[in-house]
Amino acid sequence: MNKSVRCLADGRRITYYDDGGRPRPRTAMDTRDLPEAAAVSEIRCDPLTGERVVIAAHRQSRTYKPTAELCPLCPSTPGRPTEVPEAEYDVVVFDNRFPAFSGAIGHTDVVCFTSDHHSSFSQLDPRRVHTVLEALADRTAELSAREGVEVVFPFENRGEEIGVTLHHPHGQIYAYPFVPPRTARFLDEVRVYRDKHSRHLLADVLAMELADRRRVVVEGRHWTAFVPPAAKWPVHVLVVPHRQIADLTELSTAQREDFAEVYLSVLRRCDALFHRPLPYVAGWHQAPVHRDRDLAWLHLELFSIRRAEDKLKYLAGSESAMAVWINDTTPERIAERLRASL
């Protein structure tokens, strides 16, 4: 991987991550006349639940469903400058122009996986997935070193049904200034289990899934993808490394290569499931920066709201109001259908 760091017209940082081989010069300038970036977020705490809510009112004016010809994530062309000044790129990461976290509160990156507007993560080749992983690991290391950052969360939202407003293949990285509730709950469960059994909870769950096999979707040399035994979503998959590691910075070359094979197989099965691109959220659960790293176990979680070819699962009363999920299918059936989809 070759890395080049530049600046956009409003002072935001952009980093090019090129696939291995000969370094490519990245000298194109951002010719847009942009005001200096000045977005500010705040965090408020719900006094009734203790939950944190991020207030980012500036995001109300963010770019909304532009046509392919006006996509701000495509490479720049003569007469049409975009967020990416170069005429082509492999993987690029830049400060979000409409960030959820800004000012002195956390940070938000945009990650573009390819310059091809009409592609998708499932269509990347393994070499490009390797570059994406290196880019995410590099940003995890840099963001973790920032004062006030507690958890780094890379993720991809894919599909208009999920709420995506830019169709170019991309994800984001949130650097949270606090430990999110989902991460804290996972670590609490792991701690209780370790104190009782002297073993890691996810290690035992993985061993159980490999022994049972009904919920295993894809098994590789270093990773296994399986449907969690209490799946919340109509399509729900965990991709878990066989060895405990805290975050993406600890991945070996062999683990990156095997992840590419396993994850691409999962994504292609997902797209074949209903004979159309599956809308999904896929996110990396990483260790907190400053605590409980010995309890964490890096893994990727993918889920979709599509429950049939012509039906979506909506989060209604029980899910939205009480955070109690009701699934219309079984985890075993989800895994069976994914295995059979290719």
70: burial class by Cβ within 10 Å (0-12, 13-18, 19+)? exposed
Query: Is the Cα dihedral 329, 335, 338, 341 positive or negative?
Result: negative
Answer yes or no: are the C-beta atoms of 305 and 314 closer than 8 Å.
yes
Say if residue 270 carries a ligand binding annotation: no
DSSP string over 298-309: -EEEEEESEEET
Query: Is the Cα dihedral 126, 229, 157, 282 positive or negative?
Result: negative
Q: What is the C-alpha separation between 9 and 28, in angstroms, rounded? A: 11
Say if residue 168 carries a ligand binding annotation: yes
**Active-site position among 107, 130, 167, 170:** 170
241: burial class by Cβ within 10 Å (0-12, 13-18, 19+)? buried
To the query of whether residue 107 is one of the catalytic residues in this protein, the response is: no
Q: What is the C-alpha separation between 266 and 273, in angstroms, rounded? A: 10
Tokens of 56: 């980012």
Say if residue 117 carries a ligand binding annotation: yes
Q: What is the C-alpha separation between 278 and 160, in angstroms, rounded? A: 10
Q: What is the C-alpha separation between 202 and 295, in angstroms, rounded? A: 10
Q: Among 279, 336, 268, 340, which Cα is nearest to 311's?
A: 279
Query: Is the Cα dihedral 167, 171, 174, 180 positive or negative?
Result: positive
Q: What is the C-alpha separation between 102 and 35, in angstroms, rounded? A: 16
Say if residue 45 carries a ligand binding annotation: no
Known binding residues for Zn(2+) are 71, 74, 117, 168
Return binding residues.
71, 74, 117, 168
Catalytic residues: 170
